A and B are shown apart, each in its own frame.
Chain A
Amino acid sequence: MMGLDKLILGSNSFEGVSYISRTQSLYYLEHFSKEDNIVSVLRAALNLGIKSFMCSNCENVLGALNKFDRNQEITLLPVIPNAYEYAREASEKGVLGAIMTKAKGFSMYQKFRLGLRALAKIKSVIAKDVLNLLLELIHFELASFEKFKLGGVVLHGQITDLAISSHNANIIDIYQKLIKETYGVQPILATHNFGVLLPQLIEWKIKIPIMAPFNQKGFMMRPSPGKCEDLIRDTDYVIIAKKVLAGGRLSPEEGLPYLADKKLGSVVIGVGAVSEAYHTFSVAKSVLKA
């Protein structure tokens, strides 16, 4: 199993996510609805030696990856399942209904690519076995990435945090075994509750890389920035920092030095333009000695 790169390109801006303003979110949505604009950022990152890309299976992101002539030079870290895609439909249709709705929009070719076998199995197992449903959902979503090189698979924070809130070691354990044994890559857990997850994993004796917010503003560092900093100081777990520029409130020069003395395996940084990619990753390489 390969190790993780120090610097990883994130995909929030490609998906229209902004913590700053609606105006910025709309700009991202429109700008990155054109796959060529994502390709340009991927190329810029690659030119700077950033070879890992963390993303979900959004249509525009997958389209850009397919278009990019250097896509085999990139190692992908898919974040699954794409919780927001399902959440919209799940309130009135349940999770299965949401999956089926999403699948309805696919062409026959896409259905084949996305794993009709998995889809049929999802239908058959839901009534019997929720854990199997999760596993089939993972197969279903990873089918989108089958032609690319995978370096790891990240369990979406909503699922990780749901599992820890029900004190359920089984879900995490089954997930990590599946990713290691079936896909031969590194399982990773995303969380918005680092201070709860890490002690819980230690108690369960499950050692797995964790991706969590770490930034100078303490944004989303739960239960408190101090507790998160104490935990990271003493742990031998691989920690991947995200939200490192506090959702865009900090410039790379302001935000990245905070990370320099932290015991971090990797740092995920999202950028919203080619010029931003050159600037941000240049600063990151210098400050984080990557």
Chain B
Amino acid sequence: MAVIGLGKMGILHTALVNMIPLVELTALSDIDKQLSKYVQQSGLKAAFYSDVGQMLQDVKLDAALICTPAFTNLSLAALCLAHNLDVFVEKPLAHTFAAAQRMVELAAEKNAVNATGYVFAHIGLFKKAKELLDEKVIGDVFRFRSCIYISEVFAKKKGWYYDKSRSGGGAVINIASHLIYLLYWYFGSVANVFAQTLHCYSDVEDAASVYLEFSNGIKGTLDVSWSLPGYRLSYLELVVEGNNGTLELTNDYVRLYLHKAQKNIGKEWTTIHKIDLPQTSQFELGGEGYYEEDVDFVQCCLERKSPAVTWRDGLEVQRIIEAIYLSAERRLIVSVEGIDS
């Protein structure tokens, strides 16, 4: 296996896959040649390449993890797929919907195992909330409100992350994309969106408010900002209303209010804390879910199965993001189904 891109996420995935039994990490790549020293000194027994093409020629690989800036994902994925590799790509799948769509087409042609790094799919508490919603504990869902915040941008910043042509956008694609994935995972495809974005410090949006209508009739709101003080780590809140009560999900707990007892959960208030859930992770680095995410990808490569979050899922998230940007730009309700390259 190889990891391409040795920024923060690349170093994290390098460490994690190196802890997975059955994985042999044989190559690492980054355009910064100085990182070869890091690889040597880190103790990793992997060859370093500053040229991905050269790495693919020299090393016999089964799979690669792409952890580079979003605008490079399509070209690197195409290169890996051309060498018949299974590929994991950190989120977002690409910087544009068109690039993400092309990636899905290429993966289908090669029948490659493909995964996107939306880590919420691997967090125990979020899986528990999904289970409760699927079991209709709160009945039929009709409405929700949600938000995701982090304290990250309080002045104009430089770099690819703040350049729309390279990152694809700001707080929506980089922060809210996790929450958009969660909503898509819980409620299915989105029919229409109406969005407004706000630029306080950056050339890309620092905040956004979005109204979403899902194809199954569920309606709700999403609020995102990366410029709110007091959020050292990203914080999520989702409140879902159904005809048997409400479900409130945060990073720390799921709180239910049920009009009638359902599936062994009593009437009125019940709180399930993250701490009380059985621990499933064998190893942790960088936060809950990342190790499980990589284990899932490796197992799916070995068993030729679809990972929890495929590129097609990543594309659906990208479609919603594209519609949000289009809606904000045109100040109109945009049909998500109408989004096509």
User: Using a CB–CB distance below 8 Å, which chain A residues touch chain B?
Assistant: 16, 18-22, 25-26, 29, 84, 87-88, 90-94, 127-131, 158, 161-163, 165-171, 192-193, 196, 217-225, 246-247, 249
28 pairs, A vs B, C-beta closer than 8 Å: A20-B252, A21-B253, A22-B235, A22-B250, A22-B252, A26-B230, A29-B230, A91-B7, A92-B157, A92-B160, A92-B162, A130-B41, A131-B41, A158-B285, A161-B284, A165-B285, A166-B18, A166-B43, A170-B41, A192-B284, A193-B284, A218-B279, A219-B279, A220-B284, A221-B279, A249-B273, A249-B275, A249-B276
Can you list, as one digit per residue, whether each of B1-32 has a CB less than 8 Å from chain A (1) or not (0)?
Answer: 00000011101001110110000000000000
A166 touches B276 (CB 8 A): no
Q: Tell yes or no: B152 within 8 A of A by CB.
A: yes
Q: Tell yes or no: B57 within 8 A of A by CB.
A: no
Q: How many residues of B contact A (CB 8 A)?
A: 43
B273 touches A168 (CB 8 A): no
B161 to chain A: which residues have CB within 8 Å?
91-92
Q: How far is the CA of A156 from the CA of B311 in the complex (A)?
A: 35
Kindly name the residue among B16, B37, B252 whose own CB sees the greatest number of chain A CB atoms within 10 A.
B252
Q: Tell yes or no: B237 within 8 A of A by CB.
A: yes
Q: Which of A22, A131, A158, A217 contacts B275 (CB 8 A)?
A: A217
Q: Tell yes or no: B341 within 8 A of A by CB.
A: no
Q: Which of A128, A166, A169, A224 contacts B37 (CB 8 A)?
A: A128
Can you list, as one digit per residue, whether each of B268-294 has a CB less than 8 Å from chain A (1) or not (0)?
Answer: 000001111001011111100000000
| Smallest CB gap from A169: residue in B | B43
Q: How far is the CA of A179 from the CA of B265 in the complex (A)?
A: 53
| Smallest CB gap from B278: residue in A | A218
Q: How far is the CA of A193 from the CA of B44 in the complex (A)?
A: 19
Closest beta carbon of chain B to A174's beta carbon, Å: 10
A130 to chain B: which residues have CB within 8 Å?
37-38, 41-42
A84 touches B232 (CB 8 A): yes
Q: Chain A interface mostly helix, strand, loop or mixed?
A: helix
A90 touches B8 (CB 8 A): yes
B252 touches A222 (CB 8 A): no
A224 touches B279 (CB 8 A): yes
Q: Which of B15, B250, B273, B286 contacts A166 (CB 8 A)?
A: B15
A222 to chain B: which residues have CB within 8 Å?
279, 281-284
B279 touches A162 (CB 8 A): no
Can you list, as one digit per residue, whether each of B151-179 has a CB less than 8 Å from chain A (1) or not (0)?
Answer: 11000010111100000000000000000
A171 to chain B: which residues have CB within 8 Å?
43
Closest beta carbon of chain B to A42's beta carbon, Å: 22
Q: How far is the CA of A217 from the CA of B14 in the complex (A)?
A: 30
B284 to chain A: which residues have CB within 8 Å?
161, 192-193, 220, 222
Q: Tell yes or no: B34 within 8 A of A by CB.
A: yes
Closest beta carbon of chain A to B164's beta carbon, Å: 14
Q: How far is the CA of A222 from the CA of B11 in the complex (A)?
A: 21
Q: How far is the CA of A171 from the CA of B43 in the complex (A)?
A: 9
Closest beta carbon of chain B to A122's beta carbon, Å: 14
Closest beta carbon of chain B to A1's beta carbon, Å: 28
Q: How far is the CA of A114 from the CA of B10 in the complex (A)?
A: 30
Q: How far is the CA of A128 from the CA of B151 in the complex (A)?
A: 33
B16 to chain A: which residues have CB within 8 Å?
165
Known: A129-B41, A217-B276. A91 touches B19 (CB 8 A): no
Q: Which of B251, B253, B286 contacts A158 (CB 8 A)?
A: B286
Q: How far is the CA of A41 from the CA of B332 in the complex (A)?
A: 54
A193 touches B283 (CB 8 A): yes
| Smallest CB gap from B151: residue in A | A88
| Smallest CB gap from B274: residue in A | A19
B251 to chain A: which residues have CB within 8 Å?
22
| Smallest CB gap from A131: residue in B | B41
Q: How far is the CA of A131 from the CA of B44 in the complex (A)?
A: 14
Closest beta carbon of chain B to A58's beta carbon, Å: 11
Q: How far is the CA of A88 from the CA of B8 in the complex (A)?
A: 10
Q: For window 88-115 of chain B, which residues contact chain A by CB distance below 8 Å? A: none
Q: How far is the CA of A265 from the CA of B157 in the complex (A)?
A: 46
| Smallest CB gap from A126: residue in B | B34
B151 to chain A: which residues have CB within 8 Å?
88
A127 to chain B: which residues have CB within 8 Å?
34, 37
| Smallest CB gap from B279: residue in A | A218
Q: How far is the CA of A12 from the CA of B15 in the complex (A)?
A: 26
B250 touches A94 (CB 8 A): no
Q: For window 197-219 of chain B, which residues contact chain A by CB distance below 8 Å? A: none
| Smallest CB gap from B15: residue in A | A165
B18 to chain A: which residues have CB within 8 Å?
165-167
B44 touches A166 (CB 8 A): yes
A92 to chain B: which residues have CB within 8 Å?
157, 159-162
Known: A91-B7, A222-B283, A223-B282. A129 touches B37 (CB 8 A): yes
| Smallest CB gap from A171: residue in B | B43
| Smallest CB gap from A225: residue in B | B279
Can you list, as one digit per residue, whether each of B55-73 has a CB less than 8 Å from chain A (1) or not (0)?
Answer: 0000000000000000000
B43 touches A170 (CB 8 A): yes
B15 to chain A: which residues have CB within 8 Å?
161-162, 165-166
Q: How far is the CA of A21 from the CA of B8 in the complex (A)?
A: 27
B279 touches A88 (CB 8 A): no
